[in-house]
Structure 1
Amino acid sequence: MGWFKNKSRSQEDAPESAGGAPATDTATHADETAALLPNESYRLERRRPSGSKLWLLPAVVFLLMMSFLTREGAMWYFRSNWVSEAQALSVDIDYTDGLGFWIEGNGKVEGSIDVVEIPQDQTPRLDVEVFTLTWDTDGFKSVQLENTEGCVILKCERAFQKSFFQRSMPPVKVRAKLYLRPGSLQDLLLVASNLNINLDIPNTELSSASFTSDLGVIKSISYLNSLDTELHTVSGDISGKFDLHEKLRIRTEKGKISIQVAPGEGEGYASTDIKTTSGDITIDFGEPKAQRSYRTTLHAHSGNISGRLLLGKGLSAKSKTGDIDLQVIGTGSREPYLKTDTDSGLTRITIEKSPLEKILSSHTANSGDISLFYPSTWEGELHAKTGTGDIRVQGDGLEITQNSEGLVRGQEIWAEKGNPANGRLMTRSVTGDILISIA
């Protein structure tokens, strides 16, 4: 220890060499100097402030972030109360066959539009209240309703809102109510930007109805009576009650679909086409009022598909990663077709006791299990195949023609029940198990 102390003192007393670095100033406690090993005086240099102001940068960034979050948080918290004075507009509607409504303007719009019925002796009209969701009273430049023949346009032109960071446009809240007379309107088109659409027009018979909202939800409180119905959202949910006469088409990217369908009378087959990317599909068909054929297509990329459906000319359900759980009712259609397909989801199909004549069905999966429950009235040929999973078939009157055992691993099973020409059931899974019960 004495050598270390002498060595440190000699370094402190050493003069600065010509052209060399200045001598190290180890003005620290003697115990710290004594603990150093030879040539480790540089450790003391790290403890000294360098004189840099970079430590101020995180503090400045933190203050800016807190200021921004405080402003945005205040706008979110007070958005329902701190609004500019409402601008109320109303316009009478003189429509003959069709009516359209949509919103034009800049910035974000939210709120709702309610579509309701009025007595025959009242005049159809549209009432609108518009707010800016900001404490800046200069939020609007102009708000107006343009009423042309068969078309109403709400135009909102907003001023820029002054902000510490930028000049931004304040969001706008819209509360609208559309009053319609039943029986005198053929076509109805609503393009409602991000508004929620609430429908309650049970006595209005439409030839076509189209409703579009990007972020808003679409809900039909009572059964919507339209020959051709089309609904579309981006992330909003779609729910409610709808009559099915000819066509029902529903599209959404991220929203959920939960609907009740009342099959109605009509000529030809009734078509239902529903598609979503990441939302679930839940659909419930009521009892059919007339003998007719149905074509139903359900497609969900990552969502689940479930419900009670009618088996007609074609019934198809497909999901990549979601489960498929369906209760199917036969309608007496000749040669009905049933198809399900999933990659990694589970499949469970139950066909209730109902008229089935020469049904052709196909159920496929990659890694998901398949469970099929068919009624005892089913007749035809059965073919099941799996790669590494188990296959089990059971049922009264079912005769296995290829393997007499009820359980095999990673093989195929061929079986028959009644007349093989009366139907065909095919099911395949690469790694999943297969269960088929006919009872």
Structure 2
Amino acid sequence: MPSSIYDNDSGSISFSTELSPTDGYFLERSHPQDLYIDAASSYDISTFKARETGTETETTRGIPAPSRPPYTRYTTPSSAFSDETMPLIDTRQPPPAYVDATANLYEGYNSVQQEGLGSGVGGPRWLVTFSRNGPPQHMTGTPDDGEEVYRITTYRRSRRRPREFCCSSGIMIKITLVICAIAISAWLVAAATRRRGSKQHNGHGEDRNPDIPGVEFPKWPSHCNRNYRIKSTSFDFGAPTSLRIHELVTEKHDDIFRSIFGSVHIAKAPADQTTDIQAKLLFATPSSIEISEIKYTKTDTSLSVRDPIIKTSSGARHRSTSCLGIGLILFVSPGVMLENLVLTSNHLGTKIHPNLSLTITNQTTITLSSGSLSSSSFLSRKTTIDIISGSVSGTYTLLDLLSIKTKFGSISVAVEPRKAEKEHPRPAVFFAGSVSGSVNVEFERFDIPERDYNTTVDATMGSVTGNFIHGSATELKTQSGSITADILPYDADAGPSTLRTFTRSGMTAVEVLAPYTNRGTPMKRLTSEHRGNSGSIKLTYPQEWEGTIEGGTMSGSLVLRGRDVEIIHQGGRGPLQRSVKARKGKGGSNLEFQTGSGSCDVSIGRI
């Protein structure tokens, strides 16, 4: 066996004969088998401190320190820190292997709990179990037994705290739940009592009118005071020939109310209603503001709603949350016929409910200053809708006239064409226009009545989309927006007709479908014109179309497709960098298209 750990690797390497500081380390020496510390019972703390001070002073002066007291076997857990004297150089036995010395380093935690301070293998386990969080101790000083006892006691007590805490927490939770249940029950009883006594409402929900399903009043805005009261009155119009409704509430309450809102509902009457039309008028105010009298003017054929008389106005101090809600519900019995229906409002929107069997033989006029209109279909020979600030949606019948205008709102409607009057047949005229809003129109394309159709859509600052029935004239235009439309000609050759689209800034995509009637018959008398200042143009015409094609673009590509299309001329002409002239069949229709900046893609018939 080699005499040195370096013999196998170093061979002839010689080392100095001078003794190394570690020589003798591996010699057999007697080593105490147990842990020794200074006996705490022989010295009190003051003795240790005096000895420590004297030792330091004498050492500084070069005077040897007095000999240490005799060793005493560790028998009591007086301290976790000890002054050990284990000179490794003087020992005769080698230290334990590293693996043995460090194995199970953290098992001391359990052994301390089970066996007490006097058990364990020694240093490493004590360090893990009782590491100090305070400042480091002096190497020769005696640790403070009181601090260690406090820490140990704290640890042992903490073993019992979770159970005590859980028990106390459980009791507190039960007590809290009981208190909450009692409080909620009391609140519910009080709320029910208040509601029955004062007829006040909690507003952020929807109070449904019990008379007609689907009618909510009021739809209280979130910024309004949460609690409100309702005052109402009812009317009976009997069997009027016409009906005029005017909401004339002014802005004189601006110092009290932040906003005035509400709706007019036209709905099917309850089964037990004996007259043609009845009405219910409701006002809602915050609980701090009371209406003493509802002001209105009523005749056999009209109702004008005016400013209510306010009894108390303590809510004026809270104008930011004070609102005035107005609701008017018209209950119409099935089969009622009116010559005219006029509805005007300054603050209210209008909702016409489904299953309404109402016929207006002459004209319906709805004018709203601030509010939207939503409608289910009812019969009206002529319908005129004019809204300043609000949108229009729903389904509307088209007999002789359907005109929808908005200034600041969109239009999204479905149109149901109906038959013309037999004695005095007129064209079905449809108009939709919006100054600032998009327009979407969907004509019903099943079971279309035979009659002439005249359609105009004008969106100043918005897009135009939908499908339209084409009769004698169809015009779609917008200043700033795109046009996307399907055009369905009612008849292939009913007579001369015109189709025009125009957009100043936007794309145009128009598809002319095969005719609704006489499909397969050539369309010989359709004049079409599609123009745009800035935007692409995409056109698709059916196989039935026959006539002349001419168009181009000042800046962009040009594509003309069609199996039966014959090119007459192509190239640049005038300001148009790319232009084309072509013909399909022998018909007299004429198609023109032009854009200032954008591509043109035109398909005629089968490709």
Q: CA deviation at 1:164?
A: 8.6
Task: Work out which structure has the larger RCO, using CA pairs closer than 8 Å and 6 or more positions apart in sequence.
Answer: 1
In the alignment, which residue of structure 2 is the partner of 1:86? Answer: 230
The 3 A distance-change label for structure 1 pair 365 and 142 is same
| 8 Å CA contact retained: 2:224, 2:320 | no
Shift in Å at residue 185 of structure 1? 1.8
Is 1:147 aligned with 2:306?
no
CA distance in 1, matches of 2:473, 2:317: 57
Pair 192,286 (structure 1): closer, same or farther in 2 beyond 3 Å: same
Matches within 5 A, 1:15-414: 77=222, 79=224, 81-83=226-228, 85-107=229-251, 108-118=259-269, 122-123=274-275, 124-132=277-285, 134-138=286-290, 140=291, 142-157=293-308, 159=310, 171-181=323-333, 182-200=335-353, 202-207=356-361, 208-221=363-376, 223-266=377-420, 267-287=425-445, 288-332=447-491, 333-354=494-515, 355=519, 356-403=523-570, 410-414=577-581
Moved >4 Å (runs of 4+): 75-78, 158-170
Change (3 A) 1:396 1:404: farther
1:423 aligns with 2:581: no
When residues 325 and 76 of structure 1 are mapped into structure 2, their CA distance, relative to the original with a 3 A threshold, is closer
Please name the residue that 1:438 is paired with.
Answer: 604
Residues in 2 aligned to 1:268 and 1:357: alpha-carbon distance in whole angstroms? 24
Distance 1:184 1:224 in 2: 11
| Aligned-residue offset at 1:236 | 1.1
Structure 1 265/161 Cα, relative in aligned 2: closer, same or farther at 3 Å? Answer: same
CA 1:105 to 1:248, structure 2 compared with 1: closer, same or farther past 3 Å?
same
Give the number of the structure whose residues are more often strand, by fraction. 1
Q: Tell me the alpha carbon deviations over residues 293-338 of structure 1, each in whole angstroms, 9 at most, x when there is no partner.
A: 1100000011111111011111000111111000110111311210
- Which protein is bigger by CA-based radius of gyration? 2
1:257-308 residue CA offsets vs partner (Å, 9 max, x unmatched): 1111111110121100110011111111113532211100000011111111
Give the residue type in structure 2 aligned to 1:256. S
RMSD of Structure 2 on Structure 1 (CA): 2.6
Percent of aligned pairs with the same amino acid: 22
| C-alpha spacing 1:411/1:190, structure 2 compared with 1 (3 Å) | same
2:191 maps to none
How many pairs does the alignment contain?
358
CA distance, structure 2, for counterparts of residue 177 and residue 297 of structure 1 = 33
Once residues 394 and 432 of structure 2 are traced to their aligned partners in structure 1, the CA distance between those partners, rounded to angstroms, is 14
Which letter does structure 2 place at the counterpart of 1:216?
G
Tell me how far apart the structure 1 counterparts of residues 373 and 565 of structure 2 sit (CA, whole Å).
47
Give, in whole Å, the separation in 2 of the partners of 1:343 and 1:161: 53
* 1:168 Cα offset (Å): 9.8
Which amino acid in the other structure matches residue 79 of structure 1?
A: C
Whichever residue aligns with residue 378 of structure 1, its letter is W
CA change 1:161–1:137 in 2 (3 A) is closer
Quote the residue 1:63 is aligned against.
Answer: none
Q: What does the per-residue CA deviation read over 1:321-366, in whole Å, with 9 as the maximum and x for residues that have no partner?
A: 1110001101113112100000111100011111534110000000
| Distance verdict in 2 for CA 1:164–1:274, change over 3 Å | closer
Residues 66-119 of structure 1, C-alpha deviation per residue, up to 9 Å, x if partnerless? xxxxxxxxx974626232x21111011134321011112222531112101235
Letter in 1 for 2:510: I
1:403-430 per-residue CA deviation (whole Å, 9 max, x = no partner) reads 299xxx82321110001x4200001101
CA displacement at 1:180 relative to structure 2: 1.6
Give the partner amino acid of 2:326. V
Structure 1: any 5+ residue segments left out of the alignment? 1-74
Q: Distance in 2 between matches of 1:324 and 1:270?
A: 22
Q: 1:137 to 1:268 in 2, by over 3 A?
A: closer
Q: Which amino acid aligns with 1:284?
A: E
After TM superposition, give the deviation of residue 157 of structure 1 in Å: 3.4
Higher helix share: 2
